[in-house]
Amino acid sequence: MSQCRARGLQRLLRCKHASGSKASCSRLVLGIETSCDDTGAAVMDETGTILGESLHSQKEVHLRSGGIIPTVAQQLHRENIERVVQEALDRSGVTPAELCAVATTVKPGLALSLGVGLQFSQRFVREHNKPFIPIHHMEAHALTVRMLHPLTFPFLVLLVSGGHSLLAVARGVRDFLLLGHTLDEAPGDTLDKVARRLSLRKHPQCFTLSGGQAIELLAKDGDRKRFGFRTPMGQTPDCCFSFAGLRNQITMLIKKKEAEEGVEEGTLLSCVNDIAAATQHTVALHLAKRTHRAVLSGGVASNQYIRKALMIITEATGLRLLCPPAKFCTDNGVMIAWNGVERLREGNGILPPDVDVSYEPK
């Protein structure tokens, strides 16, 4: 960046608002998330206080169609982004002029979904002459815990969601050492597919829940010992994960049970609770076995059973387990705003309004 441009950016990064709004003179960030199926926005001050937020979830629509259809997700983001951002601003009592920067997820995620948030944000920062902070979605999940606890680097992060599964050392705001990742699918994806194969949408308690949530609920009344699944990768002593083989074991069992009960695929089995309990137990065991000191985030991390399994590991090793509450684990605008605050504090990765940024799905 030229010196003149850098000075211009510095000027833009000064505190813009009088103390009329809820915040005292602290720099304000608008965070925007559209990487998958949640349209989220939040306004946050530099101390991490959430001044206003709004979230529109597409879960219901995608549950009905049996999975996320990217063009549908894109359309829903388009229909909601303007309103969601305006709601976050209105609730915070902050005007666009008072913002110090806009932070938006630009990777990784669904191309069509990322595009909506990025396009909206670039228009917004140009119109209001605000710096832009492009955010890595996984970095945001990993840093959320620092919004809630006074946690210093380095710490270990276990990130488990519908799209990802990774174990990394967080060494700094933009500095992560990857220790392990999934070799096939992410645990949330596995739970969603198992839930679909079990037709949990037809279960009276589960039709509004994501696959992971449905399995956690049903497992509460299930016997996890009735069916034994092999924990994946028992012979590989590293930090990687694998869930496809487990899903195969579960599918075989479901087929066997359907044959025994004389029912077709698509019918609710009488033993769904026990299958859910055994599934959840094996996922928890696999994650726990590969994790020692953990800071946990991502949608799957809201699972209380998985948290308990990790607690056993951390207690045995004398370490501390920190997990953001469920609403900060699933996708939202707050975690993006917080990531923006972290960047702002470090003066790292902040771009002038007119720089062209492209999204990266992978």
**Contact partner, 282, from Zn ion, ligand KG4, none, Cβ < 5-8 Å per class:** none
Burial of 249 (0-12, 13-18, 19+ CB in 10 A): middle
For Zn ion, the closer CB: 34 or 161: 161
Would you call the peptide bond into 352 cis, given omega within 30 degrees of 0 as the criterion? no
Cβ proximity to ligand KG4: between 8 and 361 the closer is 361
Phi-psi label, residue 99: left if phi above 0, alpha if psi -120 to 50, beta otherwise? beta
Q: How far is CA 277 from the centre of its chain?
A: 24
Strand runs labelled E in the chain:
28-33, 38-45, 50-57, 101-107, 132-136, 155-160, 165-172, 175-181, 295-297
- Residue 331 touching Zn ion (CB under 5 A): yes
Contacts to ligand KG4 by CB under 6 A? 36, 161-163, 188-189, 191-192, 210-213, 216, 298-300, 302-303, 330-331
211 binds, among ligand KG4, Zn ion, none (CB under 5 to 8 A by kind): ligand KG4
**Between 117 and 212, CB nearer to ligand KG4:** 212
> Distance between CA 261 and CA 193 in Å, rounded?
21
CB of 109 to ligand KG4, least distance (A): 8
Tokens at 62, concatenated: 């995608």
Q: Which does 274 bind (CB under 5 to 8 A by kind): ligand KG4, Zn ion, none?
A: none
CA torsion, ordered 94, 95, 96, 99, to nearest 10 deg: -40
CB of 55 to Zn ion, least distance (A): 13
Residue 303's binding partner among Zn ion, ligand KG4, none (Cβ under 5 to 8 angstroms by kind) is ligand KG4
Residue among 67 and 172 whose Cβ is closer to ligand KG4:
67
Does position 161 interact with Zn ion (CB under 5 A)? The reply is: yes
The partner in contact with residue 302, picked from ligand KG4, Zn ion, none with C-beta cut-offs of 5 to 8 angstroms by kind, is ligand KG4
Which letter does DSSP use for residue 268 in this model? P
For ligand KG4, give the closer residue by CB, 131 or 162. Answer: 162
